[in-house]
Amino acid sequence: MGKRFPGVVAVDDVALEVLPGEVHVFAGENGAGKSTLMKVIAQVEQPSSGHVELDGVPVTFQGPGAARRLGVSMVHQEFALAPDLSVAENLFIGDEPGRGGWISRSAERRASRELLARVGLDVDPTRRVALLSTAEQQRVEIAKALAVEAKVLILDEPTASLTEREAQELFGIVRELTGQGIAVLYISHRLDEIFEIGDRVTVMRDGALVETSPVSELDEARLVQLMVGREVSNLYPRTHQAPGEVRLEVEGLTRGDEVRDVSFEVRAGEIVGLAGLVGAGRTELARAIFGAEPPERGRITKDGRELRVRGPADAIAAGIGYLTESRKTDGLAMQLGVDKNITMAKLPMLRYGLIDLQSERRIAERQRDSLRIRVPRVGRQARTLSGGNQQKVVLARWLETGADVLFFDEPGRGMDVGAKSEMFQQMDSLAQQGKAVVLISSYLPELLNMCDRILVMRGGRITGEVQRTEFSEERVVAFATGAKGNHD
C-alpha cells in the first residue's frame, strides 16, 4: 500500500498484518509515515496504491465514517470532539438512538454510561466535553470507538499530554481491550512505553517499512538504530562544566495561586530543571518571567540588572527566550513561512518601516543550515514541518534575538528519538556557550540526564532542590508529591 502527495512519497509500498488482541506499535522518526499510514487504514486518507483488508475482505475507501461502521476507529493527537456538546452527544453523534427521526436522550445516556464504564470513566454523560480534562476527553474518544463494536483501534501518541499516572491508567484500558480481541495500533516515540505496552513493533523510515518484530526480541539500542538508521550512542549528551556568574535571578515571584513566592537563580553555562506534576506551576512560572502573564509582585534580575517585565517585548529586549509547551498554538504562526517565524521577534528593517526581505531570507537560511532544519525552501509554511523541525524553528528565532536565558518547556514532547537527540545536543551547546538554560519536563529521564540541578514545584511553590550528586527519580517524585522523608 502506498500514499503519495505532490512531490512526496509518504507511504512507500507497505505490506503488513495486524492480529486480533495485540498491541502493534508503530515507531519511527517524525515524517517516517506512521500517522499517514494510520490515516489510510482509518480511511481519513485514500491510498494511492494497494488496499486494506479487514478480516480478509478488501475494504473500499468511503471515508472515516464508513471505517468506523466497519470497526476501525482512530484517536488522533488532536481529539475530534465537539467541545460544546455533552459526552453522550459526542459518543453517538450521527448515530443517535431513537425511532422515526426522534432521538431518545434517555437511551443515549443509558448507552453512554455502559460505554464509559468500559473505559473506566465515571462522569455524567450530560456534562459538556469542554469541562473534561485531557485524559477524560481521550477516554471519551476511545468509548466513541467502542460504540460501533471496534475491531481495530488506532491511538496516535496517546500519552503525549498525559501524566505518568494517567498513562498507566490508559495502559490498563488498552490491555482490557486487547483481552477482548480488539487490535490496537499504537504510535509512540517513547521507548519505555513501547517496551511496556507493545506486543509487536513495526519500524518505519522515510515512508517505508524497515522491520516488524516481537518487542521481546529487541532492546532499546537496536530499536533506536532501526528508527534513525544509525546508532544514537548518547540520547542525552551533556558536557558538565563549572557554572559561571548568575545570569537570571528570581525573588518572591507571585501570580495568583499559580505562582507563589518563587525564588531561584540560574548561572551561565548551567541547565536547571523544573520538575513537578501537571498543574504544579512550572509553565506558569516561565510565562510570568517571560511576561506572557506578568507577575503581580517579585523581582526578576538579569545579569545583575533588575527588569521590569510588563510583556514579552520587555523579556525579549532583555535577552530572555521561551520555547513554549505548545509549538502549534503558542510557538509558531503555522500559516507563515519558516523565514517569517524565525525573524518575527527581531525583524530586519529597511528605512521607512519596511522589512528587508532579502536579509530575512539570508537569516533564515543561515539558521536553517546551522540547526539542520529540514526544509528545502525557507518560505515554506511552518505547518508542513515535522515536530522536531518546528521546534528548531522556534529555537532559531530566539537565537536570532541573541537570547542568553532560554526556557525550554516540554521540548521533547511529540518528537522522535533522533530529533530529541539533536535538540538536547543544541541545549548542551548553548550551555557550553555560557547561556543559562531552564528545562521544564514531565519526563524525568530528560531532567536527570541533562540538568545540573532540578527544582521541584508543587502547588505553585518550589518545594525542593536536588543537586546532581543526589539525583534519583524517587527523590524528585517525593518533592513533587509532598511525600515525607525526603528532606534528609
CATH of the domain at 111: 3.40.50.300
Asked if residue 191 and residue 51 are part of one domain, the reply reads yes
Asked if residue 318 and residue 422 are part of one domain, the reply reads yes
The Cα 442–Cα 159 span in angstroms is: 11
DSSP codes, 243-258: --SEEEEEEEEEETTT
Asked if residue 251 and residue 206 are part of one domain, the reply reads no
The Cα 351–Cα 149 span in angstroms is: 65
The Cα 322–Cα 397 span in angstroms is: 10
Asked if residue 429 and residue 337 are part of one domain, the reply reads yes
Question: Which of 201, 228, 255 is at the close of a domain?
Answer: 228
Asked if residue 296 and residue 171 are part of one domain, the reply reads no
The Cα 463–Cα 276 span in angstroms is: 9
Query: Residue 157's closest CA among 374, 408, 416?
Result: 416
Q: Enter the C-alpha cell of residue 52.
A: 486494506
- Residue 310: the pLDDT is 92
What are the strands, taking DSSP E only, across 372-476?
405-409, 436-440, 453-458, 461-467
Per-position pLDDT tens, the chain of length 488: 898 877 678 898 899 999 999 999 999 877 788 889 999 999 999 999 998 999 989 989 899 889 988 999 998 877 888 999 999 999 988 777 877 678 888 888 999 999 999 888 899 999 999 998 888 998 998 998 888 788 999 998 888 777 778 888 899 999 999 999 999 999 988 888 899 999 999 999 888 999 999 999 998 888 888 887 765 556 788 888 899 999 999 999 999 999 999 999 999 999 999 998 877 899 999 999 999 999 999 999 999 999 999 999 999 999 999 998 877 777 888 899 999 999 998 888 888 888 889 999 999 999 898 888 888 899 989 888 877 788 889 999 998 998 999 999 988 876 777 778 888 988 999 999 999 999 999 888 889 999 999 999 999 999 999 999 999 888 898 898 876 555 44
10 Å Cβ neighbour count for 269? 22
Asked whether residue 236 is domain-assigned, the answer is: no
The Cα 276–Cα 312 span in angstroms is: 25
Asked if residue 83 and residue 208 are part of one domain, the reply reads yes
Asked whether residue 31 is domain-assigned, the answer is: yes
Residue 413: which domain range? 246-481
Asked if residue 289 and residue 148 are part of one domain, the reply reads no
Question: Which of 228, 263, 280 is at the close of a domain?
Answer: 228
Asked whether residue 34 is domain-assigned, the answer is: yes
Q: Which residues pair with 305 in a beta bridge?
A: 302
Question: Which of 195, 228, 261 is at the close of a domain?
Answer: 228
Asked whether residue 266 is domain-assigned, the answer is: yes
Number of independent structural domains in the chain: 2
Asked whether residue 488 is domain-assigned, the answer is: no
Asked if residue 272 and residue 223 are part of one domain, the reply reads no
Asked if residue 19 and residue 161 are part of one domain, the reply reads yes
Asked whether residue 233 is domain-assigned, the answer is: no
Query: Residue 76's closest CA among 187, 203, 228, 189?
Result: 187
Q: Enter the C-alpha cell of residue 139.
A: 477516554
The Cα 30–Cα 299 span in angstroms is: 41
Asked if residue 307 and residue 223 are part of one domain, the reply reads no
Q: Enter the C-alpha cell of residue 210.
A: 524497515
Phi, psi of 231 (to 5 degrees): -80, 135
Asked whether residue 188 is domain-assigned, the answer is: yes
Asked whether residue 164 is domain-assigned, the answer is: yes
Asked if residue 133 and residue 21 are part of one domain, the reply reads yes
The Cα 75–Cα 318 span in angstroms is: 42
Query: Residue 223's closest CA among 386, 29, 415, 412?
Result: 29
